Structure 1
């Protein structure tokens, strides 16, 4: 029986390893994982919905003023922040095992959607350079609707926009997003690896072994 599966993108479909990225971009300033964690905490503020970066995900601020805001708040150099913001799209490379999973689910007749916190510029880049987006029936980027996970309004928008049947499965790597989806009546799978998610879906009978 065909089912509905909703994917997060960053950290699930695309690589998102900010600690590694910071160490790659700033090797003389970020010399250890501990220093990378400190930088990430200052820049991204754990991505909570009131953070500077959340405004970027919501489409309410452009890259240049974002760099200025974070620099003013943290003391980090604006030039470094602009460098980081500009290089994130290249970092967001597809995770091969998840792409294989997308194709397998589609081949089994399931309907696929995505729900992603993503700035508009990054979203446009990802759709333009990755042809597997054709496997999705539809999707929502936070910047396009000015709503963001884990707040409930983005799940309500998805529910209203998509012809979801029953309880769709939502795959995300962040537990509070899973919790929010489950409060909305969806089923959640916390992403760790493509193999782990595939095993879960096989266990549900949605994929063959």
Structure 2
């Protein structure tokens, strides 16, 4: 094994958790609120590359709590959405945990220390903790809205490495977004772009990570 890798750190959405396509979510919300999908795409963008941050980005770094996000979002909609309906729509974005990935993580956990670092929000985090089992194989779990930083901000990676009591270069991020992979590397981490579980197995094996055979 590559001894320099002390922690395998997983992204969640698109890696461990299957999610509804963003275009579908925007189309459904646009229809319900009679608001253009183009406007919603800007209000709910999740890139963390443009200031000021969108409402969704502010929700994901904890600047807005659940009630604050609902109120702020309604101010931008043609037809307001009820709080319980918005919560339902947010939860419906999470289609379930990827069973094959959870099984791989269980195997990896026999040999390595596992954590997650997710750009998420209070609704998604609560729902995942209540309904998904992958948390059982993680030693640590980091959510952007709790630590105040979201990927690809290098401050978030520094925070996580410090909390893990690990050197940045000893942390390996597995993420489906290239911008986050690049951000991790810029922060001194190792990182892999997730495309599918088969390619992840090959990439991990190439690094000498045990438990992927």
TM band (smaller chain): 0.7 to 0.9
In the superposition, relative to structure 1, how do residues 145 and 26 fare at CA in structure 2: closer, same or farther (>3 Å)?
closer
* Corresponding residue number in structure 2 for 1:42: 42
What does 1:1-209 correspond to in 2, within 5 Å? 1=1, 3=5, 4-16=7-19, 17-23=21-27, 25=28, 38=38, 41-48=41-48, 50-73=53-76, 75-79=77-81, 83-92=85-94, 93-107=96-110, 109-164=111-166, 166-206=169-209, 207-209=211-213
Higher helix residue share: 1
CA contact (8 A) 2:16 2:97 kept: yes
Q: Distance in 2 between matches of 1:188 and 1:144?
A: 22
Could you say what secondary structure the match of 1:188 adopts? Answer: strand
Give the gaps of 5 or more residues in structure 1.
Answer: none
Q: TM-score if structure 2 supplies the norm length?
A: 0.80
1:96-140 CA distance string (max 9 Å, x none): 232122112113x11111111111232122112222212111121
Quote the Cα distance in structure 2 between the aligned partners of 1:66 and 1:131: 27
Aligned residues: 201
SS state at 2:97 partner: coil
Change (3 A) 1:40 1:81: farther
Contact 2:9-2:115 within 8 A present in 1 as well: yes
Q: Gaps spanning 5+ residues in structure 2: where?
A: none
